[in-house]
Amino acid sequence: MSGVSNRAAQSQRALMGVRDLIVSGELRAGTRLSELILVERLGISRTPLRAALAQLGQEGLVEAIPSGGYAVRSFSREEVIDAIELRGTLEGLALRLAAERGVAPARMGELTRLLEGIDEALKGDVADMDFDGYVDLNAAFHEKLWGLASQTIRREIERVTSLPFASPSAFLDKQANVEAFRRSLYGAQTQHRAMVEAIALREGSRAEALAREHARLARQNLEFVLDQDRSLIRRVPALSLVVG
Amino acid sequence: MSGVSNRAAQSQRALMGVRDLIVSGELRAGTRLSELILVERLGISRTPLRAALAQLGQEGLVEAIPSGGYAVRSFSREEVIDAIELRGTLEGLALRLAAERGVAPARMGELTRLLEGIDEALKGDVADMDFDGYVDLNAAFHEKLWGLASQTIRREIERVTSLPFASPSAFLDKQANVEAFRRSLYGAQTQHRAMVEAIALREGSRAEALAREHARLARQNLEFVLDQDRSLIRRVPALSLVVG
DNA sequence: AAAATACCACCTGTATACAGAAATCAAGAG
DNA sequence: CTCTTGATTTCTGTATACAGGTGGTATTTT
């Protein structure tokens, strides 16, 4: 058996199952989530399903219907932008506090090592970079950054980034290997390096500003997809929930 | 019958009941929350109780035990400070965006009217101010401020402030009518006025900085309680969960 | 033909039964 | 006396039965 615990296995399955149905676009924004249908579709009972729906309600992916039950939430462009801004602000807070309070050398070393890995993935030009490698390393780097914050703050970051289009990997899905996105990675890595340097130098305000600006890359990519090439919507998780 | 809907009445009762047991200090930090005991105590069944526990887990007031179930969470001084810093940061984000994007005159009028009400409550000197009136108006003012933000951001603010000691009213509980706190209210109202002015003048950065500084009043009050007069711990909701 | 009403099917919220795992306690061995 | 081991008790996670309410549809009435 794998190392994963069996505790609350059905609940986890329900959570992942419903989330997948939503972000894959199979359930469109506004559609009511009938418990009985989902139960039959996922092969579980109502109890863990209801737990999953409540959790997704907390995450913001579904919203409660006044008369009972839940519906897939829809997001306006402004709300997506605010979610990205929110992530940048929270990451900025995490980095500012880390810079002001100091970080153990071992952790700085881990961050530096990830930076070197990303450099390696970006070696070569736009055509033959290791995009998939970047995706994984970028996710690991951001998670390591979040680990610099206290549990209280880390929890909020993780909740906000549970909205798929607000995550730092939102436009780095392996399905979205597009030149327009690949080109932005060099600038992103420059910001990565600057953020780590700012923390090392205890420059809290700079670290905060950099984190905010870094998140705005996601906003740029969002606006590119919505305004320049809407065919990419299908390639970015949950972007089908955005109206307008 | 009152206007309140009966929808999910038991769930609401469970949520409020358990939350009360925790913030009142009746359940100490670290104690396991036995479902059967709580069920008997609150006179409900396990289903709505479990929903309440899951919600409180999201709010951060209880934490999941790896082997199953939940326990009352304990907070270090640093975590409480971070929660306050987090609120200030989120309110700062809300105010910055409101200032940058503009606010309808009607809403600004409502804010101004609340400010005048607070002025009225503060009329007179420290001894005979209308403390209870201030408490209510201050809560209303902050909620009106949150209403300036989009749903995405407002949701996060509301979640963070569900931690009782992180709320703007944390040290303004009617139980905590103490001169040390009353004296801080004049400075707080000055900041209230400056925040509204900054929004009106579209000074986003100033509005953000003011919101952060305003939240630090709560931090000052926290440190006063913990370092100067620990007897006040009982008077501030949920402060009994803070260790150290 | 349009509107109102009554009926029916479905759905959610709640309670409870059941099974497997965890914790506790006791007894026995070293 | 301590540690280990085994059994019992208790707990959580899951499934399902039940009741009240909501929404939709069809029929009737104007």
Residues B60 and B122 in one domain: no
What residues make up the domain containing A57? Answer: 2-73
Residues B119 and B197 in one domain: yes
Cα atoms in the Cβ-side hemisphere of radius 13 Å centred on A185: 30
As ranges, strand C nucleotides with an atom below 7 A of a protein CB are: 10-17, 21-23
Q: Under an 8 A CB cutoff, do B89 and A93 touch?
A: yes
- Residues in contact with B42: Cβ distance below 8 Å, sequence separation at least 6, in sequence order: B13, B14, B17, B18, B49
Q: Label the pairing between strands B75-76 and B62-64.
A: unpaired
Cα–Cα–Cα angle for A57, A97, A56, rounded to 5 degrees = 5
Among B82, B80, B158, which residue's Cα sits nearest to residue A96? Answer: B82
Do A128 and A228 form a contact (C-beta atoms < 8 A)? no
Q: Which residues of B touch A98 (CB under 8 A)?
A: none
What average pLDDT is seen over chain A? 94
Q: Label the pairing between strands A70-72 and A62-64.
A: antiparallel
Residues within a 7 A CB radius of strand C: A 5-7, 32-37, 46-47, 50, 64, 68-69; B 7-11, 44-48, 51, 67-68
Residues B84 and B192 in one domain: yes
Q: How far is A62 from chain B (nearest CA, A)?
A: 12
CATH number at residue B110: 1.20.120.530
Query: Does pLDDT of A1 surpass 60?
Result: no
- Of all residues in chain A, the percent with pLDDT exceeding 70 is 98
What's residue A206's pLDDT? 98
Residues A140 and A23 in one domain: no
Angle between helices B46-59 and B9-23 in degrees, nearest 10: 50
What's residue A5's pLDDT? 55
Query: Does pLDDT of A4 surpass 50?
Result: no
Residues A229 and A113 in one domain: yes
Residues B81 and B189 in one domain: yes
Domain boundary among A73, A89, A107: A73
Split at pLDDT 50, 70, 90, the class of A2 is very low
Q: Which nucleotide is nearest to A33 (CA to C1')?
A: C11
Number of domains in chain A: 2
Spatial distance between the Cα atoms of A53 and A50, rounded to a whole number of angstroms = 5
Q: Under an 8 A CB cutoff, do A156 and B160 touch?
A: yes
DSSP notation for A140-200: HHHHHHHTTS-HHHHHHHHHHTTSGGGSTTGGG-GGG--HHHHHTHHHHHHHHHHHHHHHH
Average pLDDT over residues A214-239: 93
What's residue A178's pLDDT? 83
Residues A26 and A89 in one domain: no
What's residue A125's pLDDT? 84
Average pLDDT over residues A24-32: 95
What's residue B4's pLDDT? 46
CA distances from A113 to A101, A107, A196, B189, B196 (A): 22, 10, 11, 48, 46
Domain boundary among A45, A73, A101: A73
pLDDT digits (tens, 9 = 90+) for B118-156: 999 999 888 889 999 999 999 999 999 999 999 999 999
Residues A185 and A161 in one domain: yes
Among A87, A145, A158, which residue's Cα sits nearest to residue A115? Answer: A145
What's residue A241's pLDDT? 96
CATH number at residue A11: 1.10.10.10
Q: Which nucleotide is nearest to A67 (CA to C1')?
A: D22
Residues B46 and B121 in one domain: no
Residues B162 and B54 in one domain: no
Domain boundary among B57, B73, B89: B73
What's residue B225's pLDDT? 94
Instruction: Looking at B60-184, list the stretches that DSSP marks H as alpha helix, in order from N- to C-terminal side.
Output: 77-101, 105-122, 131-146, 151-160, 179-183
Q: Which nucleotide is nearest to A9 (CA to C1')?
A: D13
Among B215, B221, B219, which residue's Cα sits nearest to residue B176? Answer: B221
Residues A144 and A117 in one domain: yes
Question: Which residue, chain included where needed, has tokens 């420290």?
Answer: B126
Query: Does pLDDT of A3 surpass 50?
Result: no
- Residues in contact with A219: Cβ distance below 8 Å, sequence separation at least 6, in sequence order: A81, A84, A85
What's residue B3's pLDDT? 40
Residues within a 7 A CB radius of strand D: A 7-11, 44-48, 51, 67-68; B 6-7, 32-37, 46-47, 50, 68-69
Q: Which residue in A89, A93, A152, A242 has the most chain B C-beta atoms within 10 A of its own C-beta, making it the best mutation to test that interface?
A: A152
Residues B172 and B123 in one domain: yes
Average pLDDT over residues A121-134: 90
User: Which amino acid would we find at residue A152?
Assistant: T
Spatial distance between the Cα atoms of B118 and B137, rounded to a whole number of angstroms = 6
Let me know if B64 is exposed, middle or buried by CB neighbors in 10 A (0-12, 13-18, 19+). middle
What's residue B29's pLDDT? 95
Q: Under an 8 A CB cutoff, do A86 and B160 touch?
A: no
The parts of chain B modelled with pLDDT lower than 50 are 1-4
